[in-house]
Amino acid sequence: METFYDGFPGWGWRAGWWGGGMGMSTTEVIPERAGNLTVDVFDGSTKALIFRARASETLSGNAEKNDKKMEHSVDEMFKKFPPRAASN
């Protein structure tokens, strides 16, 4: 499932375009291949999406190797966390 959040003060990002909204979300069922990981982080008080990261790896039949790939991918994702406010 993929959810589009437009809770960034009335604006949101989805599939390559920006658009305005009323602070709503839409969820769609999107077929995913094994090996894809999406991490969303929300502000607990406002429930706004503050960070999204994605990774994709080719998996093998070796669970230990796959665990190491996932750990590496998550480490890479969170190098960009916390998000920094855009400078003017």
Residue 88: inside a domain, yes or no?
no
Is 81 a residue whose pLDDT tops 80?
yes
d(CA 74, CA 16): 23
Residue 14: inside a domain, yes or no?
yes
Residue 59: inside a domain, yes or no?
yes
If one counts the domains in the chain, the total is 1
Kindly report, residue by residue over 20-31, the tens digit of the pLDDT.
445 567 777 767
Residues ≥6 apart with Cβ < 8 Å to 54: 36, 37, 38, 39, 77
Kindly report, residue by residue over 4-61, the tens digit of the pLDDT.
666 544 444 444 444 444 556 777 776 767 788 888 888 888 888 888 888 888 888 8
Residue 87: inside a domain, yes or no?
no
At 9 the pLDDT is 45
Q: Which domain covers residue 50, as residue numbers?
A: 2-80
At 88 the pLDDT is 53
pTM of the model: 0.54
Residue 86: inside a domain, yes or no?
no
d(CA 44, CA 55): 24
Residue 47: inside a domain, yes or no?
yes
Contact between 49 and 9 under an 8 Å Cβ cutoff? The reply is no
